[in-house]
Structure 1
Amino acid sequence: MNVLLLGSGGREHALAWKIAASPLLTTLYAAPGNPGIAQVAELAALDVADHGAIAGFCREKGIDLVVVGPEAPLVAGLADDLRAAGIRVFGPSKAAAQLEGSKGFTKDFCAEFGIPTAAYGRFDTLAAAKVYVEKVGAPIVVKADGLAAGKGVTVATTLDEAFSALEACFDGTFGGAGAEVVVEEMLVGEEASFFCLCDGTTALPFGTAQDHKRVGEGDTGPNTGGMGAYSPAPVMTPDMVEHTMREIVEPTMRGMAARGMPFSGVLFAGLMIAADGPKLIEYNVRFGDPECQVLMMRLKDDLLVLLNAAADGQLAHTSVRWRDETALTVVMAANGYPGTPEKGSVIRGLDEAARDGVEVFHAGTALNAGALVANGGRVLNVTATGASVAEAQKKAYDAVDRIDWPQGFCRRDIGWRAVERERR
């Protein structure tokens, strides 16, 4: 099979690494890719926003399957345009991608189909949103409705913080994504990430993880795209997985089909595990980043077989096997992140770091005169497996310490909750 993978981050490097191991694969192309992905795929200079160019490339290269990594092309309808051109795609339609593309859409959908989630209000004016916040009080959560690269959510502990978050949305800080906002109650519990592969009818559970959104140790500081993750999530017991499938995922699959927009691709449920069971925080319509990295390290089966089954509506006849080990990934970010990252600094020592079962996935790198340099905020995902979270954590940080990059930083406590659990 010839496969085209779209994207350029750590998630896509992990997907490329796993797809490249498939006996079904003939050639893997990636666009635009990164230096890490280039080790396992042929890079193509394609603009993911140019749907016609992507379709033309697929015809020229005889692409059998397109795998869309990031959310923006899906929300923009890339999967629809490729399918209309007769090209097989792993990823949801534009209509189905509204589950991530519009938080308001998802909240209304949950209300219609009885899916447990936080109480909320939707607003398209600052004045109305402020009135709601004053009525409900703090703490409260303010979310830009559209895609904001993981940065459009504020957990406000005071009314002033909530008002500032609302003003940022309506002042254009997040562009068009903030033209409408969702304001919702703050859920209390432990967060977890739950993934399913979907084919429009069947949802196949595809692993659990927990990530660390805050930039600082002890889960302090501003939110980021994610500073690390581990899998499986201890809080997602078999009973909790069954509860999530029954109360959240399966009603979503039925509801989307009833609306004439059946969901296929990856359904990523961000959950709050509360005393009364799981509640949906948000949906994403692609693999998480950096959760994908730990899932790929644990996946025992051929990923390409699973992606084909999802694309062809055959998941009802498919199962997934996982390695018993825990996987943990540490994000190394450029100084300045999550603000303006410092780009261009040279990174050395990756070959020394990637040993003893450790993989270093490239997230924001580039080549400059033959040297590997930082080219983004989150730059590397140092990923290890172990018999326990503590063992995987130690291996990952040992690898981090072998990387020579003074201009980078990481949190030193990824997995701390799970490690504490293991010590009890």
Structure 2
Amino acid sequence: MFNFFKKKQNEVDIPQVQPMANWEENSYMHVLSDNVEVENIDGAKERIESIEGLKLIEFNVRDDNSGNLTLEYNGDEYGVGFYFDDFVLESLYSLQNQKIHDEDFAQIQEKTKSFVIYMNFNKNYFDSYHLQLKLIMAFFPDTLAVVDESAEKLLSGRWVKLAAESSVTPSAEALFTVQAVFDDKTHRVWLHTHGICRTGFSELELLDISRDNVNDIYYLLNTMANRVLYQNEAIEDYIFLGEFFDGEPIVATTLHWNEGITRYPSDILGGPNDRVDSHNTNSKVILLFASEEDANNAKYTKPSEIEEKLIENPLYYYTNEQTDHMKFMARDRFDILKKFIQENPENKALIKVGLPTDGEDGEPDYENLEHIWFELKEFTEDGFRAILTQEPYRVSSIKAGDEGEYTINDVTDWIIYTEEMSIEPNTAYLL
């Protein structure tokens, strides 16, 4: 059933591809809260039934407070399981953490139990993920934090609450994390994702990256993951991800990990020795094609071979779906921006506005927008007044320093600058 490869160089055996673990195939989340500590799920059934777009079909609870439910949500049927489990604080240290309020983390350290809720995502994995967060808040409105086991990430309960209450699903980047494993001797890095498998696609990896360049080359992996998830389409032959600084296209492809690692020396981090007990299921290694001819002849270029080009400000493309999602989230949470600035006028806010570009006939082209940052001046009855902070490229009717009045329907992103940090729509829970 599984392919078996032998590394010809040094005759190294390549481990076999293994079946996915439960937490890869399904979405597993562990909830922490005061009510979890005492296993109190009173009122959960009624709160679940009140979720908009949800029809509860079956709700079963056993004597040990484990159980399952069947439901319909936005036209799709789901089966969900749950149980209580012991919680060990040390397990947090291998996770990526969202920013957590200090007082919340102090409470996390005291928790000894978790509520595990698991489910299988359907083809609309954005809806599925959103549903899981809604169910968590329905079971435990006092949710303090959530360990997303599938993505190996610690989520703030405040973020979970904000996301669950939002009319917009969380972004693609909420579905996965990118982990970096370092080799202190060679200063090389192995980047790989967690969390994508539950969507039906493969995890993604970059091998043999220089530690000095990892922060820049990370965007190659992140862009490909976002492209797959937003377009709901696996990478088949190759895909155009953007442009290098010299205008040449960035053409990427993937190979299953057990074939991809044969393109590298056998002793690298992420090589055969690191695949015996883990990272040996559904994952693909990212490679590049230097030209169309290379693509047609399956001549692969390792990202590590062209790191200098990958750190020279490459331009990565956003999909329309990704841009739209950012826009809808910014609008959905615009009232958070407004309320905070009205209560804290000493803070600065920038708002990105989509303006129609110059059309060929001299008229505004409303089909093609240029997204430009404005500095907020004041709120109006119907929107806000703001000053353009930069020269537009393709909008001749306005220049840097010009002031205009806009509505929430013009907003495509925003950011607040406080003394401690900058806040954007996805991190609005920190305010």
TM-score, normalization: structure 1? 0.27
The structure with the larger Rg is 2
Could you say which structure has the greater relative contact order, defined with CA pairs below 8 angstroms and 6 or more residues apart? 1
Q: Which has the higher strand share?
A: 2
TM-score, normalization: structure 2? 0.27
